[in-house]
A and B are shown apart, each in its own frame.
Chain A
Amino acid sequence: MNQPIVMSDMERRELLWKRIHRVLPFLSLGLLLALWVYVSQGENARFPSPGATWDRFLLIMRHPIKGLTIFGHVWASLQRVCIALICAWLFGIAFGILTGWYRKSDSLLTPLFTAFRSVPPLAWIPLITIWFGLGEFPKILLVFIGSIPAIVVNTHAGMRFVQKIYLDVGTMFNANARQKLFKIAIPSALDAIFAGIRTSTSAAWMVVLAAEMLGGKSGVGFLIIRGMDSLDMPLVLLSMIFIGLVGALLAIITQLTELLLCPWTRKQSN
């Protein structure tokens, strides 16, 4: 039975727009590529063409820079980010719970932290360089400083604004202070904590580039500086593309982890 579908003009227009919305992302991607080709045309173009960038990719795979291919450099940056993030999460979540849950430590510590987090992480570079030189530790420390505010602020907010009714349920069942903290407050703050994890991850990925520009022999930040110093713009652009891809990948991974660990945050589908 093939019944004709009855639709008003308005509905037909809605349907059309729905289809257009599905195509639009691809359209914008296509536009970006076209723009790229356009600006990189001509003899004295100041922008590397897609072809040149692809060639640079093949070159770095055959002739690694400082012994590392592009993937090696990405991995070097990721390692720094991972170590710094794990420290930042452990410390940040603990600190956020401490200040979000206990009023006294909130009044005592939060003003200090607010002052600390209003200083951009890059402002620490001179001091950190004087204290710790240019090795691996100062880079990781810088990433740590850059990623700590997001996780602390989110955990703090999650713990501070636990819905009263959940705590009332605890009171009613005569839960003690420890049970209220671990069985009610922390679980209810988990989605806020995960928001902090997401934000701190992207912050860490930004700061690691700056940290690697300080000097060193590996990392995507190093590649960018290297490309700038030798006027190798295809290398710069290639690094930028990888930075974007890895950043997006990190965002997706943290999102999936959240869905896996906190299945209740998955919103109702209908």
Chain B
Amino acid sequence: MPRTDLRHNDQARQGASSSMERRMSTPDSDIKVEVRNLTKYFGRLHVLDDISFNIKRGEFVCVVGPTGCGKTTFLNLLTRIYSPTRGDLFIDGESADPKKHNLAFVFQEPSAFPWLTVEKNLRFGLEIKKLAKDVIDERVEMIIKMLGLQDLRDRYPHQLSVSSEQRIIIGRAFAMHPDLLLMDEPYGQMDVKLRFFLEDEVIRLWQELGTTVVFITHNIEEAVYMAQRILILSTKPTTVKEEVVVDLPRPRRFDDPDFVAIRNYVTEKIKWW
């Protein structure tokens, strides 16, 4: 059942220009995000090697890979915190530009602003974008309701539990109605129960808002539980080793034999020893 889709193309490695032409020649309105030949060197250190893949509109993609494989570098390239050495990221066919496109990011570390209340944290990104006040009100109300934060709206982050704080950040990201939402191991530091709870919450938000999500994790079970498609990264220099489509019905069950089969398959592929 897992589908392999290796995209090694030596010609594309020669440079971005040839791949650009190829991109232009195959317009596809269903593709939201297009990553082409993304390559990154830090000095001589080759971190990312020719990563290419597409993400469909409203798709939920999980990215898994061995420890230290450059997942964070990969994400920082997508958000434009770093510039790629070669290759590019396209959103709706245009080179991704934070000025034009809406990128949202859920960091691994708690990143709610301690000086703002829950509600003001949720409003922050929308106010930065200078949206109309009634639009902001409406979106924030909706997110507060969906996340069940009504009673906490005037609290400060330090008064909340770690999981509630992470929910603010997730809410803040979804409230942007982003073109692309990137999540970097958002549940890395949480216990199993909270993890299950928040995984379902993200799935619900995603289903209701139709956001395109890239979710990075080192937890294979989590990836199989959430993703429509899993990208497996290799060790450094990192490239996409394989894509696995997960077409199990939701809500998924951890003990479903199909689920276990996919999980085992991905685990097998991720092994680098």
What is the interface of chain A, defined by CB distance below 8 A to chain B?
165-166, 168-175, 179, 183-184, 187-188, 190, 262-264, 267-268
Contact = CB atoms under 8 A, between A and B. Distances in A.
Given A173-B125, A179-B128, A264 B81 contact: no
Given A165-B111, A183-B128, 13 more contacts: A166-B113, A168-B105, A168-B107, A169-B111, A169-B124, A171-B98, A174-B98, A174-B128, A175-B128, A187-B116, A264-B156, A267-B158, A268-B158
Given A172-B79, A190-B115, A264 B129 contact: no
A173 B156 contact: no
A188 B98 contact: no
A229 B259 CA distance: 92
Contacts of A169: 105, 107, 111, 113, 124
A166 B98 CA distance: 17
Contacts of B271: none
Interface residues of B, number: 24
A168 to B, nearest CB: 6
Contacts of A268: 158-159
B145 interface: no
Given A165-B111, A184-B113, A173 B124 contact: yes
Given A174-B99, A268-B158, A188 B109 contact: no
Contact of B129 (A173, A187, A263): A173
Contacts of A188: 113-115
A264 B114 contact: yes
A184 B79 CA distance: 19
Interface in B101-125: 103-105, 107, 109, 111, 113-116, 124-125
B176 interface: yes
B128 A187 contact: no
Given A184-B113, A187-B115, A190-B115, A172 B129 contact: no
A187 B120 CA distance: 13
Nearest to B157: A264
Given A179-B128, A268-B158, A268-B159, A173 B176 contact: yes
B159 A171 contact: no
Contacts of B115: 187-188, 190, 262, 264
A172 B98 contact: yes
Interface in B149-190: 156-159, 176
The 7 A-B residue pairs whose C-beta atoms are closest, nearest first, are: A173-B125, A264-B156, A174-B98, A187-B115, A172-B105, A173-B128, A175-B128
21 contacts: A168-B81, A169-B124, A172-B79, A172-B103, A173-B124, A173-B176, A179-B128, A183-B124, A183-B128, A187-B116, A188-B113, A188-B114, A190-B115, A263-B156, A264-B114, A264-B115, A264-B116, A264-B157, A264-B158, A267-B158, A268-B159
Interface in B221-250: none
Contacts of B103: 172
Nearest to B102: A174
Contacts of B159: 268
A262 B158 CA distance: 13
A234 to B, nearest CB: 49
A238 to B, nearest CB: 43
A187 B104 contact: no
